[in-house]
Structure 1
Amino acid sequence: MYRRNFMGSIEGSSHINYSIKSINKVGIIAALSCVAITGIGFGLSLPLLSFVMKELGYSSFIIGLNTTMPAIAAFALSPLFLKFMEKFGLKSFLSFAIIVAIFCFYGFFFTQNIFLWFVLRFVFGACLDGIFVASETWIGELSPDHLRGRIMGIFSSCLSIGYFLGAGVLVFTGSRGVLPFIAGSLFLLIVFVPIFLARKQIPNIKSEEQTSIKPIILSTPIAMGAAIVYGYMETTAFNLLPLYGIYNGLSEQLSVSLLVVVGVGQACLQFFVGAIADKYGARISLIICTLIGIFGAIGIGFFINTPFVLYPILFFWGACISGFYTLALIIVGKKYKGSSLAGANTAVVAMFGVGSLIGPPLAGFGMKTSENYGFVIAMLVPVLIYIIPLVLRKNNL
């Protein structure tokens, strides 16, 4: 039903073992580098564009609506990503997405037209989502099942490292002027380095029949639910947590530092999330992440003005957010291979888009209604709903 074709020929039995190790090592490092730099693009652009829109006088509700554009792009266009990867190859697909993303990112600086911002946000989000899917497929093809949890944990950690580095860049550049836009564009350009170095180890996914994501979504509801929760919490936190801090009396710099702490937690603990899933199963790990998500959101509301208590809460809360993504990839990675795995990764991104589409507007409306507790209540919604099927499910994943 599918076949994996790695560019480059390998001859001789002893040479085969060495080459496979070499391909895995180079390819995995390159894929990890791609997703880390993509995370920088997300981590910088999400709070940056929210701050710029706030300076332009737009309400938190309009800001929340604008942040849904990448989610709409992910949901609407992710089924096409697989077709483009199959037709043009991962390398060409990645290169095109990077170039268009850079032009869009500069476009935000050169126009203040709100309608153009919605269009730019849609296209920019589609490009980053495309890099996201391609990197997932790349790393998924190289991950053996017995190490998949740990490798996907490292993959998620690299994405999270990118997120908090992006937020960290904003701490130093500020949200005013062209400097943060130049910094973001330079980081996106760096993605070409690992693509070039690993150009002979990039897999081509070929399918002998059309791959549809609908049956994949229906056959893995727990994984798809985890992707929705991740999209909801990740996008909402990185777009609106700094604004929530400002509304509660924190400075802009201190508010951005909240995202840095969330990102550090995401980066440091994903390997352990994957290791727990390898040993005890994904369901147990998901229940742990969901409980941390519930109590973490409550803690944020109570201790938003007490940093020495708030930072540890955000550290573990951030880890649980990325944990949903890590575990979704582990579940689909064990079930699908080849072009089906690419389709499954596309489905994960589509469900991420669904969550991202719901979260920011709901949280923005909540913050407009109650600046003190609207954000917290909105962040409790997905985890309180998701824990129900996890508890009711008897078998592990």
Structure 2
Amino acid sequence: MTELSHAQKIKCMIALISALAVVSITSSLNWPILAEALRNQGYSESLIGINAAAQFGGIIIVALAAPRIIPALGFFKAILLGFAIVALALVALPVFRGFETWLVIRFLLGVGNSLLFTAGDTWVNQIVDDRVRGRWMGIYVTVGMAGWAVGPILGAYLDPDTVWPFISGLVAVAIAACFLMPARKLDVRLSASERGLALGL
């Protein structure tokens, strides 16, 4: 694995934590907004749950494919790919407002979100020293949870039948990508022996 200096590690962690904070907001915003939009279209709670399950399908696929995808791309490119997939899904959701099409789009949304979070979590674990791991992971998780708490609060002020929730999500993704940019030259590469261990496999 490529070694980073202490200053580079701090810079990378700040970039990752900032990006996580913003992307957590848009991720948590999607769930209530999409559920309410389907409810307004007359779908039952059971069908709304089935639609949401498609997103978990994407998460499962990434969990299975991550040991190949992330080492092949590198952490930075894997996260950027996740951002791109999420952005594409956010563009498609208000354009194609059908139950069946949302199944496909939400599957892709799950893929994108899972890819960027899995790559981000693994990247953090690889660059943090053992002696300060607890402190940095505490900050990382706390910021992420704060973002997840803010999303539904923002969702309460947005109309799910308009494009504004999705535009808000796109803006958040763009901001998160900008926060991540300082880390683009600080990517670390895993050796073959480190790949399975780093990804928990």
Do the two structures share a fold, i.e. TM-score over 0.5?
yes
Q: Which residue of 2 aligns with 1:129?
A: 114
Deviation at 1:137, TM superposition (A): 0.8
SS at match of 1:176: coil
SS at match of 2:191: strand
Q: Which residue of 1 aligns with 2:155?
A: 170
Q: Which residue of 1 aligns with 2:142?
A: 157
Matches within 5 A, 1:291-370: 338-344=194-200
2:91 counterpart letter in structure 1: Y
Deviation at 1:52, TM superposition (A): 0.4
1:161 counterpart letter in structure 2: A
2:85, 2:111 within 8 Å by CA — same for their partners in 1?
Answer: no
- Give TM-score, length-normalised by structure 1: 0.48
Q: Which sections of structure 1, spanning at least 5 residues, go unmatched?
A: 7-18, 209-337, 348-397
Q: Which residue of 2 aligns with 1:5?
A: 2
Q: Which residue of 2 aligns with 1:301?
A: none
2:15, 2:181 within 8 Å by CA — same for their partners in 1?
Answer: no
1:137, 1:341 within 8 Å by CA — same for their partners in 2?
Answer: no
2:82, 2:112 within 8 Å by CA — same for their partners in 1?
Answer: yes
1:97, 1:131 within 8 Å by CA — same for their partners in 2?
Answer: yes
Deviation at 1:148, TM superposition (A): 2.3
Q: Which residue of 1 aligns with 2:93?
A: 108
Paired with 1:147 and 1:198, the residues of 2 have a C-alpha distance of 20
2:2 counterpart letter in structure 1: N
Among the aligned pairs, what percent are the same residue? 22
1:81 equivalent to 2:69? Answer: no
Deviation at 1:96, TM superposition (A): 1.8
Deviations 1:223-278 (A, max 9, x none): xxxxxxxxxxxxxxxxxxxxxxxxxxxxxxxxxxxxxxxxxxxxxxxxxxxxxxxx
1:34, 1:135 within 8 Å by CA — same for their partners in 2?
Answer: no
Structure with higher Rg: it is 1
Deviation at 1:117, TM superposition (A): 0.6
1:189 counterpart letter in structure 2: A
Tell me the matched-pair count: 201
- Aligned residues: CA RMSD: 1.8
Q: Which residue of 1 aligns with 2:183?
A: 198
Q: Which residue of 1 aligns with 2:27?
A: 42
Equivalent in 123, 128, 131 of residue 143 of structure 1? 128
